[in-house]
């Protein structure tokens, strides 16, 4: 099995209009190595087929199948993008032989290539270890010239120590330690944190690293004005923003097919409202989506949620 592979055009399908009315008629599958600089708006869909981090984190595996499940649902959705906007599927990074760290390195390099070509990266995961790879692709592209703010929609901080290796629960701790080595400021905002999903050590780590967060009790649509104010305040202190969406942050009523489900999660409306605020800042440079587990999905509900979130993103930028 190859660590990087191309996507078959047949991965995207749906109603055929002959008028590009559906995304499967808009998306082109290409080799990332042959990408040329974009002349206009362009989105690059890059898959991360890996659940080794989830396995190491003692979660239920199956997230490696997520990219194909998202592609299946995304292609069916209507296309209202401008004719000149391009949507490219640039292939899949696959974790082989449990080599998580190498997969993260390869992912980071692919993200860098997309950014350097002026293409907006949308990465389809995969476990939340995806975040370490995505971030480093962004950091490689911007070097030390830009400050990077991370906004994570998640029930979990994912700040576990990686002393015993990287997992889906360690990416932001790893990033924090890398920032420390580079004398860079760790800028991290976590939205939807649940007190029943993080132990006291994680809350202490968040405090020590000066992590900003909004608890699930407050991350509700009725508080959207206050939430948007906090998001804008965070964005004002950074040059670019990277968004990562962990689907297990949603209530299992909306996202049953995830690695760590809970009925106590947040709702799609508050995430969509928050995304609108982030996009309107003009600073969003990349987005990934993590922890879909098709093995446990019900009627493709979680995959549909992921696809709808990406549809909103592409039609809002």
The confidence score (pLDDT) of residue 2 equals 83
pLDDT digits (tens, 9 = 90+) for 11-27: 999 999 999 999 999 99
| Radius of gyration for the chain, computed over Cα atoms and rounded to the nearest angstrom | 18
Annotated binding site: 128, 154, 156, 158, 246, 248
Is 7:47 a contact under the CB 8 Å cutoff?
Answer: yes
At residue 1, does pLDDT exceed 80? Answer: no
Q: What is the mean pLDDT of the chain?
A: 97
At residue 143, does pLDDT exceed 90? Answer: no
Annotated binding site for Mn(2+): 128, 154, 156, 158, 246, 248
Distance CA 7, CA 224 (A): 38
pLDDT (average), residues 281-300: 98
pLDDT (average), residues 193-215: 98
Distance CA 89, CA 275 (A): 22
The confidence score (pLDDT) of residue 145 equals 84
pLDDT digits (tens, 9 = 90+) for 77-106: 999 999 999 999 999 999 999 999 999 999
Distance CA 29, CA 9 (A): 6
Whether the ω angle into residue 126 lies within 30 degrees of 0, i.e. cis, is: yes
Cα separation values, 12 from 24, 73, 88, 92, 279, Å: 5, 8, 12, 14, 26
Distance CA 300, CA 317 (A): 26
pLDDT digits (tens, 9 = 90+) for 209-253: 999 999 999 999 999 999 999 999 999 999 999 999 999 999 999
Is 107:137 a contact under the CB 8 Å cutoff?
Answer: yes
pTM: 0.97
- Sorted by where each starts, the structural domains of the chain and their CATH numbers stand as 4-316 (3.40.800.10)
Is 303:73 a contact under the CB 8 Å cutoff?
Answer: yes
pLDDT digits (tens, 9 = 90+) for 236-248: 999 999 999 999 9
């Amino acid at each position: 099995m190859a660590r990087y592979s191309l996507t078959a055009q047949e991965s995207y399908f749906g109603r055929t209009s002959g008028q590009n009315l559906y995304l499967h008629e808009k998306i082109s599958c290409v080799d990332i190595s042959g990408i040329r600089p974009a002349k206009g708006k362009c989105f690059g869909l890059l898959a991360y087929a890996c659940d080794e981090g989830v396995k190491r984190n003692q979660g239920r595996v199956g997230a490696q199948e997520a990219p194909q499940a998202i592609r299946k649902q995304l292609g069916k959705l209507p296309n209202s993008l401008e004719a000149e906007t391009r949507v490219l599927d640039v292939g899949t990074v696959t974790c082989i032989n449990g080599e998580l760290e190498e997969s993260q390195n390869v992912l980071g390099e692919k993200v860098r290539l997309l950014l350097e070509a002026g293409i907006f990266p949308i990465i389809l995961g995969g476990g939340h270890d995806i975040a370490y790879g995505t971030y480093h692709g962004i950091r490689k592209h911007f070097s030390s010239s830009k400050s990077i703010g991370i906004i994570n929609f998640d029930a979990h901080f994912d700040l576990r120590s990686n002393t015993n290796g990287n997992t889906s629960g360690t990416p932001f701790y790893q990033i924090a330690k890398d920032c420390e080595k580079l004398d860079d400021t760790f800028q991290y905002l976590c939205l939807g944190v649940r007190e029943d999903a993080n132990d006291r050590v994680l809350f202490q780590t968040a405090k020590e690293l000066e992590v900003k967060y909004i608890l699930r009790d407050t991350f509700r649509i009725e508080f959207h004005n206050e939430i948007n104010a906090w998001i804008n305040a965070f964005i004002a202190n950074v040059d670019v923003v990277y968004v990562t969406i962990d689907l297990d942050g949603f209530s299992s009523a909306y996202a049953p097919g995830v690695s760590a489900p809970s009925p106590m999660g947040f709702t799609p409306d508050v995430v969509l409202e928050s995304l609108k605020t982030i996009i309107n800042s003009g600073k969003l440079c990349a987005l990934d989506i993590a922890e879909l587990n098709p093995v446990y999905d019900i009627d493709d509900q979680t995959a549909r949620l992921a696809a709808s979130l990406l549809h909103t993103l592409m039609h809002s930028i």
